[in-house]
Amino acid sequence: MLTKSFTRRQFLASTGVAATGAMMGASLPGLAQAGTGMIKPARRALVFVMLDGGNDSFNMLVPNDKIAHGQYSETRANLALSRGELLDMDTPKDRLGRSFGLHPSMPEVAELFDQRRLSFVTNVGPLVEQVRKEQFYDGSAALPLGLLSHADQFKHWQTSRPDLRVNDGWFGFFADDLQPSKSAHEIGMNISLAGNNIAQNGKIDLPYAITDKGSVGLYVKEEKSPLNDLLLDSFNRMMNADQNGDPFRETYLNLTRDAQSKHETFKSATRGIKIPRSFPSSDLAQQLRMVAKTIAASDRLGHDQQTFFVRYIGWDHHDELLATHARMLRVLSEALGTFQATLDDMGLADRVVTFTGSDFGRTLTSNGNGTDHGWGGNTLVMGNAVKGGQILGDYPELGLASDNALDVGDGVLIPTTSTDQLYADLSIWFGVQPSALNTLFPNLNRFADVAGGERLGLFT
């Protein structure tokens, strides 16, 4: 009998990814030529957890010394968390002498921070160039296309090309460089738990989409029975039927054949891999459970390096911010904590780095019961390789006096760290040669001499 059936969404995710990715990205500007040797082979995996909708991250990481928290409370008004609610973290003082606390829903993240296996990168966002407040007002600054727009900023976080609307991403660059001669029937190194995505699209390589249960395809139970034999025979005859030169049917069948072949490969590679601890029931946690299983199967899949793209949707909190944000941060913290502990159990923790992104930060001011679209926000990076326990970048002042150089209205903050700078550190750890960074991120040299060594300091 059939134990897994296709839904329309699953079919599009697993087979349509090749067709849609090719149509969307092939004719658009790419990042670099494929197979240039710009990345050193290594046993490493990057896991990108996209908090889809715009995380109110200034209620995730909060200054907890008296003066700075007073500014925060005045600005955030009815949305402010009290100092007593915040989770204590062993935080170093930043350049303004401030210490920080964490949202009370995130004890696992606080523990990882104190264990020096997680750091925060503050006030980060897509930037074409560094922007001053007066330039923003007089229109002389080069700003990201579609600033404050979900669709555009979601894309910019995946490409780090905010001056262009392109459909190939920085993970796609990795795959093009590391596996330029990969067979069309092999599973590539970029694996998505969120269907097609831009971050993993390359000029020649496309992501392989799976679900939290694994790959999607036709699955017939292996024990012999007349029904099973009939199902398998019918499927094979359909796949091998002569379509008399009909291009639509041939294209459809080729995609289905390829998807089924990859499904069988993935199913075989992950069969028998045991996850040593129970994961929470949330969709995010279950996706990360499958990520851990797939990393454990990397040898069987023929991968040294891997990337994963995971989406956690629902962060657009224009209303009911406090209750909904607390619930979702709880899901995030539990999932991240369990995932990291599982990597420890499986002996994989030294080779995996996980980080979050989100469309944008949100306004510091309340709209009554929530917040609106902003720009700069805070993110986190987790893993044994991370130089943890750090508050990196320039956490902004949260008071909205007229002399706040970053506030362009209602607490929309100009980022002081670009996604380019965050991704440059992650890319170097992954194996990208420093000399290739400006090819991968063409705007990077507008922020810092990253290739020369001036980086955020995420890794030792």
CA separation for the pair 376, 33 (Å, rounded): 32
* Percent share of the chain, pLDDT over 70: 83
* Phi, psi dihedrals of residue 211, rounded to the nearest 5°: -115, 180
Q: With contact defined as beta carbons under 8 Å apart, do 257 and 218 qualify? A: no
| pLDDT on residue 89 | 95
Q: Does the pLDDT of residue 15 top 50, yes or no?
A: no
Residue pLDDT, tens place only, 355-371: 999 999 999 999 999 99
- SS3 state of residue 411: coil
Query: What is the rounded average pLDDT of the residues 193-218?
Result: 92
Q: Please report the pLDDT score of residue 16 as a whole number.
A: 36
The model's confidence at residue 218, banded by pLDDT at 50, 70 and 90, is low
Residue-level pLDDT at 455: 81
Residue 204 above 90 pLDDT? no
The CA-atom distances, in angstroms, between 4 and each of 10, 15, 75, 263, 290 are 11, 16, 52, 12, 17
User: What is the rounded distance in angstroms from the CA atom of residue 414 to the CA atom of residue 24?
Assistant: 31
The single-letter DSSP state of residue 399 is -
**Residue 415 in tokens:** 């980022």
Secondary structure class of 160 (helix, strand, coil): coil
Phi, psi angles (nearest 5°) of residue 296: -65, -25
Q: What is the pLDDT of residues 389-427, one digit of tens each?
A: 999 999 999 999 888 999 999 999 999 999 999 999 999
Enumerate residues 6+ apart whose C-beta is below 8 A from 141.
129, 131, 132, 135
Position 223 pLDDT exceeds 90: no
Residue 271 pLDDT grade (very low, low, confident, very high; cuts 50, 70, 90): very high
- With H, G, I as helix, E, B as strand and everything else as coil, classify residue 107: helix
| Count of CB atoms situated within 10 Å of the CB of 7 | 9
Q: Does pLDDT of 452 surpass 90? A: no
Q: Is pLDDT at 6 greater than 60 in this prediction? A: no
CB within 8 Å of 271: residues ≥ 6 apart: none
Q: Is the pLDDT of residue 216 over 90?
A: no
* Predicted local distance difference test score (pLDDT) of residue 393: 94
Q: Taking a C-beta distance cutoff of 8 angstroms, is the pair 117, 384 a contact?
A: yes
Sign of the torsion angle spanned by Cα atoms 110, 115, 117, 123: positive
Q: Which of 262-276, 327-341, 441-455 has the lowest mean pLDDT?
A: 441-455
pLDDT band per the 50, 70, 90 thresholds, residue 30: very low
Phi, psi for 381 (deg, rounded to 5): -130, 130
Between 251-255, 310-314, 327-331, the lowest mean confidence (pLDDT) is in 251-255
Whole-angstrom distance, CA of residue 277 vs CA of residue 342: 7
> DSSP letters along 29-69, please?
--SS-SS---B---S-EEEEEEEET---TTTTEEE-SHHHH
14 has pLDDT over 90: no
User: In this predicted model, what pLDDT tens digit does every residue of 77-101 receive, in sequence order?
Assistant: 999 999 999 999 998 888 888 999 9
pLDDT at 29 over 70: no
User: Is the pLDDT assigned to residue 11 strictly greater than 50?
Assistant: no
Q: Is 230 or 314 the better-scoring residue by pLDDT? A: 314
- What pLDDT is recorded for position 232? 59
From 127-136, 182-191, 334-343, the region with the lowest mean pLDDT: 182-191
**pLDDT exceeds 60 at position 1:** no
The better pLDDT of the pair 220, 407 is held by 407
Give me the pLDDT at residue 55, please: 98
The predicted model gives 231-239 an average pLDDT of: 63
User: What number is the average pLDDT over the span 270-282?
Assistant: 97
What pairs with residue 257 in β-bridges? none
Mean pLDDT on 306-318: 98
Query: Residue 345 CB: number of other CB atoms within 10 A?
Result: 13
**Over 70: is that where the pLDDT of 220 sits?**
no
In contact, 360 and 54? CB cutoff 8 Å: yes
Q: What is the mean pLDDT of the chain?
A: 88
pLDDT, greater one: 344 or 6:
344
What is the pLDDT at residue 86? 98
Q: Are 428 and 459 in contact (CB under 8 A)?
A: yes
| Each residue's pLDDT tens digit, 104-122 | 999 999 999 999 999 999 9
Q: What is the pLDDT of residue 460?
A: 79
Q: How far apart are CA 344 and CA 336, in angstroms?
A: 12
Least confident of 154-163, 251-260, 377-386: 251-260
Q: What are phi and psi of 446, to 5 degrees?
A: -85, -10
Q: What is the secondary structure of 421-433 as a DSSP string?
A: HHHHHHHHHHTB-
Q: 88 φ, ψ to 5°?
A: -70, 140
CA dihedral angle for residue 262, residue 263, residue 269, residue 274, rounded to 10 degrees: 150
* Radius of gyration, CA atoms only, the chain: 23
pLDDT confidence of residue 226: 76
What's the predicted TM-score (pTM) here?
0.88
* pLDDT of 186: 86
pLDDT mean over 295-307: 97
